[in-house]
Each structure stands twice: as C-alpha cells, then as structure tokens.
C-alpha cells in the first residue's frame, strides 16, 4: 500500500481524507496534542484495523473524536451537568471525558467496557475533517504500540509508511503530550491520565478530583487499571532511560559514574553540560512544563536515531502540565527513577 501524503492546508486533501475514512480506511490526522490514527468509530471492521496496525492490545479502548458537544451527546448514555461544564470550559482542547456509553458505540471501540472516552480536538484541520466527514473518529496516538507518540507527520510516516491509506500533515503539534483523561463514570471524578489540561484547571470546575494511583507510580501486578492504557509499557524509546532527581552537579556526577551514552537535560543546563557530555540534548526550560511537553516525544525519538543506549534524564517538576511530562517520562523509563537529594 502507498500511504498518501495529504496537506491540512489544502481543502481538497481534507475532502480526500474524509472519503478514505468513510470508506473504512485508516488516516493519520493532526491534533493539538499528538497525531492520531483515525478510523470511522461506527465501523467495527475499520476500528479493528487500528488495533492491527498499531499492534495494540485488544483490551485498551480508544478515544472517540467529535466536532462539538452536540455530536458527543448521542454517543454517551447521558451527559451529567459536570460533563457539560467541563466540555464548555475545555472543548475544543486537550481534555478527554469518560462517560457511560450509548449503544451506538461498538464494543471494539470501548474494548468491552460500558464507557466511552470523548474528546473535541482543537486543531483546525482535525475539526475541519470531523465536520466534512460527518462521522465520529476513533483515534489512538499514531505510533506503534509502546513507542513514543508522534508530534510530526514525519514521526507518523516513520511508524506507518506503507501501512495506512494516508497521513494528513498539519505541522508540529502545539501541546506535544496527549489529552488529559478524566472519568465521570466513577463514584468520584478521577484523573486517569495527566495531559494537556492541568489538574488544577479541572479542580477549578469540578471542585473535587481524585488522581488515579497509576499516574505517578507502577501498578502492582494484582491492582486493577481504571484506564487499561496505564498497564502497558509506553512511550518508550529503545534506549534505557533513567530519571534523576537532584541538582545539576549531582546529576552530572551520576551520569559519569553510570557511564551514560547521553543525557537529556533542561535548556539552561546546556552550557554547563555540553563540555563534559558532548552527547547532550535538552527538552525545554526547567520552569516551563509547556515547553517540555512540546519537545519531549521528539527528543525520545532523536535519542533512538542517535543510537544512544543508556540515557540519564533530569526529572521534571510534576506540577501543572509537568505532571503529564513526568508521567510519560516515568513510563518511558520503565519506572527507573533515582533520587540523589
Ligand atoms: O491526545 C490524545 O488523547 C490523543 C489524540 C490522538 O487525541 N489520543 C490518545 O489516544 O492519546 P491513546 O489511545 O493513545 O490513549 C487513550 C487512553 C488510553 O490510556 C486508554 O486506556 C484510555 O485513554 N481510555 C480510552 N477509553 C477509555 C475508557 N472507556 N475508560 C478508561 N480509559 C479509557
Ligand atoms: Mg497512545
């Protein structure tokens, strides 16, 4: 199969992507968070081909993308007042809301759960496409299962060239980490995955918000996963990453001691680091989690392209959107974390 390169700037290409999706094909689409691998959410065969292309475990449900609240409503059994408030405040944007599903959602989308994850993406091309094709789109991140999520069309093609019908290029993703996932189908509103909307912003609307225990640590083997995605190895480059919490001098000492092939630090660290560690990349300023989020997945892919095997990473502060950066790095590092303080 030849994967068509389509441009989000070209209306004829948006129309072509919509036709392919209506015909049951897979199309990678830009969103403001990461690229998604989209299929018609109402077509079980098309949705099954997402799982096959990604190598995704069958028990990991997909997010359904719609153009507005009105299109979300028929997909949920009901829309509680809190859901409406969240949607009005954060959609279009990087928030996914889990609700009880209506019978329109095929079981393969929800992986057999009684709930559905709904989101209105903020990228103009994604919204335009959703409107033109007139279908809800199931779309996980457009990476091979387990690999770092894609934030450019080049990342998508690296994983899927020749395996999907088309990739719609909408430029680099603005947010760079996936949407925040919150469930309103649990006894109390619960954050299942941190993302582009900070927990404090959700609390401002919801009042109370529990944080799933899987957000900042590994689940024990016997512990149930509220969000199946939290069980799996994720976002991981081939390199062995180790997260290090501590001052820059201690970090550098540790990198020498452990004979790291490379280091991933903050922008402001580069002047001090690069003379001692020429193999040095940075992922934004220490005090700017939005910048870290924006660059993280690109850096993880670069690390593999450079062939580094063991990489020490300065730990981000898990505050605001930084909780999402920390959550992704922790999984990318298979929970290897060292505290030098
Ligand atoms: O930003 C994003 O959310 C991107 C873009 C493409 O929209 N999509 C994305 O999808 O990150 P994916 O499949 O990589 O991650 C979806 C997460 C998984 O952890 C999955 O387990 C969880 O959402 N999820 C989906 N439906 C769920 C449900 N009904 N109950 C609990 N968790 C659910
Ligand atoms: Mg993913």
Within a 10 A sphere around the Cβ of 224, how many other Cβ atoms?
Answer: 8
Ligand approaching nearest to the C-alpha of 58:
1
Residues 34-73: b if buried by 16+ CB within 10 A, e if exposed: bbbbbbbbbbeebbebbbebbebeeebbbbbbbbeeebbb
- Return the pLDDT at 223: 82
SS3 breakdown of the chain: % helix, strand, coil, rounded to 5? Answer: 35, 20, 45
> What percent of the chain has a predicted confidence (pLDDT) above 90?
92
The crossing angle, in degrees rounded to 10, of helices 124-133 and 11-22 is 50
Predicted local confidence at residue 218, as pLDDT: 83
Domains in the chain, start-ordered, CATH in brackets? 4-176 (3.90.870.10), 240-339 (3.40.50.11030)
Q: Kindly tell me if the per-residue pLDDT of 99 is higher than 70.
A: yes
**Per-residue pLDDT reduced to its tens digit, 124-133:** 999 999 999 9
- The pLDDT score that the predictor gives to residue 97 is 98
Confidence of residue 91 (pLDDT cuts 50, 70, 90): very high
Percent with pLDDT over 70 in the chain: 99
Q: What pLDDT is recorded for position 233?
A: 66
| CB distance 34 to ligand 1 below 6 Å | yes
Nearest Cα residue to 185 out of 239, 245, 122, 116: 116
Find out whether the beta carbon of 197 lies less than 6 Å from any atom of ligand 1: no
**Which runs of E-coded beta strand occur in 140-261?**
166-169, 180-183, 190-193, 210-211, 240-245
Q: What is the pLDDT of residue 220?
A: 81
Burial class, 217, CB count within 10 angstroms (exposed 0-12 / middle 13-18 / buried 19+): exposed
62 in ligand 1 pocket by Cβ < 6 Å? yes
Q: Is the pTM of this model over 0.95?
A: yes
Q: What is the mean pLDDT of residues 24-43?
A: 98
Tell me if residue 231 falls in helix, strand or coil: helix
Q: pLDDT category, 224, cuts 50, 70, 90?
A: confident
Sheet of strand 95-100, all strands in order from the earlier edge strand to the far edge: 4-7, 166-169, 27-29, 36-40, 137-138, 63-65, 115-119, 95-100, 180-183, 190-193, 210-211
Contact 180, 94 (CB under 8 A): yes
Mean pLDDT score of the chain, rounded to an integer?
96
Ligand 1 touching residue 227 (CB < 6 A): yes
Q: How far is the CA of 340 from the centre of ligand 2 (A)?
A: 31
CA of 61 to the centre of ligand 1 (A): 7
Q: Which residues surround ligand 2, an ion (CB under 5 A)?
A: 141
Q: What is the per-residue pLDDT for 236? A: 82
- Would you state the pLDDT for residue 229? 74
Q: What is the DSSP letter of 235?
A: S
Question: Are the CB atoms for 221 and 307 separated by under 8 Å?
Answer: no
Which atom of ligand 1 is the closest one to the Cα of 228? Answer: 21
- Is the CB of 41 within 6 Å of ligand 1? no
Give the ligand at the shortest distance from the Cα of 147. 2
Q: Per residue in 100-123, pLDDT tens?
A: 999 999 999 999 999 999 999 999
What confidence tens digit (pLDDT) does each residue in 192-217 have?
999 999 999 999 999 999 999 999 88
Q: Is the peptide bond before 258 cis (omega within 30 degrees of 0)?
A: no
Q: Is the dihedral of CA 32, 33, 37, 43 positive or negative?
A: negative
Q: How far is the CA of 235 from the centre of ligand 2 (A)?
A: 8
Residue 205 CA to ligand 2 center (angstroms) comes to 26
């Amino acid at each position: 199969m030849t994967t068509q390169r389509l441009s989000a700037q070209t209306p004829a290409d948006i129309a072509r992507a919509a036709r392919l999706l209506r015909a049951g094909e897979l199309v990678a689409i830009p969103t403001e968070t990461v690229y998604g691998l989209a299929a018609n959410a109402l077509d079980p065969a098309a949705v099954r081909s997402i799982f096959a292309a990604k190598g995704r475990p069958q028990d990991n449900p997909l997010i359904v993308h719609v153009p507005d609240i009105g299109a979300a409503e028929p997909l949920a059994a009901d829309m509680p007042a809190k859901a409406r408030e969240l949607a009005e405040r954060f959609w279009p944007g990087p928030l996914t809301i889990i609700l009880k599903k209506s019978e329109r959602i095929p079981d393969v989308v929800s992986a057999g759960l009684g709930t559905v994850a709904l989101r209105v993406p903020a990228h103009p091309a994604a919204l335009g496409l959703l409107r033109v094709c007139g279908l809800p789109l199931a779309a996980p991140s457009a990476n091979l299962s387990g690999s770092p999520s894609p934030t450019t069309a080049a990342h998508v093609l690296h994983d899927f060239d020749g395996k999907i019908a088309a990739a719609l290029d909408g430029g680099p993703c603005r947010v760079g980490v996936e949407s925040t996932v919150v469930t309103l189908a649990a006894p109390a509103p619960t954050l299942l995955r941190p993302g582009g909307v900070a927990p404090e912003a959700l609390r401002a609307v919801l009042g109370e918000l529990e944080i799933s225990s899987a957000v900042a640590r590994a689940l024990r083997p016997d512990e149930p996963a509220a969000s199946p995605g939290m069980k799996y190895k994720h976002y991981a480059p081939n390199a062995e990453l180790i997260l290090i919490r501590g001052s820059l001098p201690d970090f550098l000492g540790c990198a020498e001691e452990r004979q790291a092939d490379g280091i991933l630090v903050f922008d402001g660290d580069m002047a001090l680091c690069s003379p001692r560690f020429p193999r040095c990349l940075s992922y934004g300023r220490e005090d700017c989690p939005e910048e870290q989020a924006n660059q993280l997945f690109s850096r993880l892919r670069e690390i593999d392209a450079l062939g580094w095997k063991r990489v020490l990473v300065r730990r981000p502060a898990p505050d605001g959107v930084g909780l999402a950066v920390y959550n992704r790095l922790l999984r990318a590092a298979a929970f290897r974390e060292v505290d030098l303080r």
